[in-house]
Amino acid sequence: MIILGDVAIINPAKAIPRAKTDVTVSFLSMKAVEVESGRFDLSETIKLSDGLKRFTLFQDGDIIFAKITPCMENGKIALMGGLRNGIGLGSTEFHVIRLPDCVDNKFYFYFLLQASVRRFLRGRMTGTAGQLRVPTKELECLTVPVVSYPEQKRIVAKIESLFSRLDSAKDSLERVQQEIKRYRQAVFKSAFEKIEQEKPIESIFKIIDYRGRTPPYADKGVIHLRTSNIRNGQIRLENIRYVTEETYKKYMTRGIPHKGDVLMTTEAPMGEVSLIPDYKFSIAQRMVLLRSDNFDKFVMYQIMSTFFQKRLERAKTGTTVAGISSRNFKKVPFKFCSPEEQVKIVENIESRFERAKLLEDAVEQGLEKIERLKQSILKKAFEGKLVEPDPNDEPVESLLERIKKGKLELSKK
């Protein structure tokens, strides 16, 4: 075993000839990199000269590795390929790992993809709560395996063969998930399309707007909900943040949430919604509370429906980060009916959702099992249990010499 800094250059210097700065290159935001899959979206581009001083530079063959919480723990990591003009710019929250040609970059990509590696690095992050990062030095000092180049190739081939089968199963399960989503939207459409009465949001709800305020986080205290915690009508207590009691009192002066309110995100992403949980919490930027005499579930389901989401889309502002202003949101039409009708609509929706939930739970369990199997494969691969070593391979000592020379050549480029 050696350390990563002996094999790779971490965050290489930006060395682009002046003549090349006028080209268009790929742009990769943190959002464009999928969790744990290694897949990424290259649909965005940027002129190199416009972003060279502001963003992280990388090239085909580099590994990008998220340094900040929770992206690092979630597995935002990718092996670059297919970049426009072979070059990319991206979030400053990426570490760039550049390897010499004498090693297989896929081998080290898969090594870094292990959940155990991320757990190890999680304990070495520095910074304040909510802004923890993996320092460059800690990544450089990460212990990594070293095996002959042919064995690296054999291990990668075996991993990809096994992953390919699992990915086929995953694709099938994800198609079922999409069918369930379409079914739910059909249920919403059936439930709400016959309601004719509408009024602007501001005529039905008291809107408590928390936007524009970002509290300081603490290591413990009152739960602080962010837009990332609101998904598909639920509150997910993952990567949670906290504020002190003092901060809670200072920042929650616009109104304390209570039973019957509905919580909605206004940006990043827009239109996610949930009911109020039965525990004390704080909220801040990009959130509003909707308070009315309407049945809270009726309100939540209507906001989740495609027809209402389209109304939000038409009223949104911004392109890179879509959001809805307070002025525009107040004017969005909202369907209403009698309290008795609202209860019947919600009961009908939930009775039909109950059947879909059983299938959805089974799909979720299947997807989780696939991820566990992938991690098991990676663990075996880097314990030397996935492929047999070949005694005819070059000695590791020879490879180490070539790595040393290759890394020196990289540093001169």
Q: Model confidence over 368-394: pLDDT tens digits? A: 999 999 999 999 999 999 999 899 998
pLDDT tens digits for range 253-262: 999 999 999 9
Instruction: Identify whether residues 136 and 10 lie together within a single domain.
Output: yes
Residues in a beta bridge with 217: none
Q: Please report, rounded to a whole number, the percentage of residues in the chain having pLDDT higher than 90.
A: 83
| Burial of residue 58 (number of CB atoms within 10 Å: 0-12, 13-18, 19+) | buried
Residue 129 has pLDDT above 70, yes or no: no
Instruction: Identify whether residues 81 and 211 lie together within a single domain.
Output: no
What pLDDT score does 130 carry? 65
Average pLDDT over residues 338-366: 95
Instruction: Identify whether residues 256 and 129 lie together within a single domain.
Output: no
Residue 413 has pLDDT above 80, yes or no: no
Q: Please state the φ and ψ torsions of residue 386, each to the nearest 5 degrees.
A: -100, -35
**Residue 52 within a domain:** yes
pLDDT band at 17 (very low <50, low <70, confident <90, very high): low
pLDDT band at 355 (very low <50, low <70, confident <90, very high): confident
What pLDDT score does 1 carry? 79
The DSSP 8-state label assigned to residue 105 in this structure reads H
**Residue 206 within a domain:** yes
Instruction: Identify whether residues 127 and 224 lie together within a single domain.
Output: no
Instruction: Identify whether residues 102 and 211 lie together within a single domain.
Output: no
What pLDDT score does 16 carry? 65
**Residue 161 within a domain:** no
Could you say which of 315, 336, 357 is where a domain stops? 336
What pLDDT score does 320 carry? 60
User: What pTM was estimated for this model as a whole?
Assistant: 0.79
Q: Which of 185-189, 198-202, 323-327, 367-371 has the lowest mean pLDDT?
A: 323-327
Average pLDDT over residues 347-358: 93
Instruction: Identify whether residues 140 and 205 lie together within a single domain.
Output: no
pLDDT tens digits for range 136-171: 999 999 999 999 999 999 999 999 999 999 999 999
- Closest by CA to 224, choosing from 237, 208, 234, 212, is 237
- Closest by CA to 8, choosing from 113, 108, 130, is 108
Residue 304 has pLDDT above 90, yes or no: yes
pLDDT band at 341 (very low <50, low <70, confident <90, very high): very high
**Residue 361 within a domain:** no
Could you say which of 311, 336, 361 is where a domain stops? 336
**Residue 371 within a domain:** no
Instruction: Identify whether residues 206 and 295 lie together within a single domain.
Output: yes
pLDDT band at 238 (very low <50, low <70, confident <90, very high): confident
**Residue 404 within a domain:** yes
What pLDDT score does 21 carry? 74
pLDDT band at 319 (very low <50, low <70, confident <90, very high): low
Instruction: Identify whether residues 11 and 120 lie together within a single domain.
Output: yes
3-state helix, strand, coil in the chain (%, to 5): 45, 20, 35
Residue 18 has pLDDT above 60, yes or no: no
CA 319 to chain centre: 19
What pLDDT score does 173 carry? 97
Average pLDDT over residues 24-36: 94
Spatial distance between the Cα atoms of 40 and 343, rounded to a whole number of angstroms: 43
Spatial distance between the Cα atoms of 81 and 63, rounded to a whole number of angstroms: 10
Could you say which of 289, 321, 336 is where a domain stops? 336
Strands 262-266 and 270-275, sheet pairing:
antiparallel
Instruction: Identify whether residues 221 and 281 lie together within a single domain.
Output: yes
The CATH number covering residue 215 comes to 3.90.220.20
Range of the domain at 127: 2-148+394-412
Number of structural domains the chain divides into: 2
**Residue 93 within a domain:** yes
Instruction: Identify whether residues 200 and 77 lie together within a single domain.
Output: no
Instruction: Identify whether residues 67 and 130 lie together within a single domain.
Output: yes
The first and second tokens of residue 332, run together, are 């969005």
Q: What sign for the dihedral angle of Cα 39, 40, 43, 48?
A: negative
**Residue 26 within a domain:** yes
Instruction: Identify whether residues 262 and 143 lie together within a single domain.
Output: no
- Closest by CA to 247, choosing from 123, 130, 126, 122, is 130
pLDDT tens digits for range 262-282: 999 998 789 999 999 999 999
What pLDDT score does 128 carry? 79
pLDDT band at 210 (very low <50, low <70, confident <90, very high): confident
Average pLDDT over residues 49-63: 93
